[in-house]
Amino acid sequence: MMFKKNLSALRKFTIILFSIAVGATGPLSPSQISNYRRDGVILIKGLITGRMLQNAQANINQLVNNSNRSTNSYRFASIQGWSTNPFLRSIAFNSDAPRISAELMGLNKTRPLRLMKDALMALSPGDKSCGWHVDDKFFWPCYDNPELGATDEGVNVWITLSPLLAREGGGLAVAPKSSRAIWREKCRKFIGTFDPTNLAGNTCELATLSPKCHYRLESMKVLHDMEPGDALFASRYLFHKGEPFDKGYTKLRYSIRYMPADARIFDNRIEAAIQKKRLTNGSLLSATGTYYPQVWPRSILKERLTIRLGLLGKHHIHRERK
């Protein structure tokens, strides 16, 4: 009864919250899509602007300043903020990021898009960051697509919330065409990002594990000058790394991963969706429901309300690792 009352009370507010699209970009041009298919990455200027950007910056600066959390690589790191933080959720659901990702993957309205995992990170001067890598199965708990150059393999949207100058470092270095390279899987094997037993264990250590792959990627490296709200849209399999820097201020970034709803979930042994929804390895991503919610062509009311009401539970992202 209480749940129904809460649903009724929040229905109107939630519909407004999730239905307003705040985006500064129009449909992608044929050349943008062509460049993405060729390089596995494109830069979109002004993905988020105005109040959406300002609110996110203010909220995230406060989070970072009030937190003592850090990793070996970052001043601050937080996963799945969309589930509890309305400012991050607004970006992940309501910006143009889902639409552009769907365009790049060639999806249509019969193949919806779902939100996978996000990451909010702050990189400070002297932080190690993460070396050349393709994100591991923790971030992409879906089966790999063995086809080089597949269009629907997943898109990672990397948004800067701080000004970035390539010459100063602190941004995201990318290796265009690496997601389509015939040596892609060979270099991935060194860091084990296809291996369900390696959840971030060796992901950042390519320079040590394969200097040859590391130097190959360094020779391909591209860094962009970016303003707050600009975004890189990259293939799931694009090699990338955080570019360290020695002086200046802490730089904020927010990344979001999207997959088609008909992707197959991969049990990486810590996925709460597998356990809570009683799914099996290979179940459709759409079967995870609110754990990985639909965001395009439209979100689903029941999923929106569950998220808004905070009913996912504190272990909705992954089970405790043993």
Task: Give pLDDT, residue 270.
Answer: 81
Sign for the CA dihedral angle at 40, 202, 216, 74 comes to: positive
160, containing H or E segment:
strand 155-160
pLDDT higher than threshold 80 for residue 21: no
Domains, the chain = 2-308 (2.60.120.620)
CA dist 253 to 66, 171, 270, 298, Å?
17, 8, 25, 25
Q: Which stretch of 115-119, 190-194, 286-290 has the lowest confidence by average pLDDT?
A: 190-194
Tell me how far apart the alpha carbons of residues 53 and 92 are, in angstroms, rounded to a whole number. Answer: 12
- Tell me the pLDDT tens digit for each residue of 232-281: 999 999 999 999 999 999 999 999 999 999 999 988 778 888 888 889 88
Residue-level length of the chain = 322
Phi, psi torsion values for 118, nearest 5 degrees: -115, 170
Q: With CA atoms as reference, report the closest residue to 60 among 118, 113, 13, 100.
A: 118
Q: Which residues contact 203 (CB under 8 A, 6 or more apart)?
A: 130, 133, 135, 136, 191, 192, 193
> For residue range 42-60, what is the model confidence (pLDDT) as tens digits?
999 999 999 999 999 999 9
pTM of the complete model: 0.88
More confident residue, 41 or 15: 41
User: CB of 126 within 8 A of CB of 209?
Assistant: no
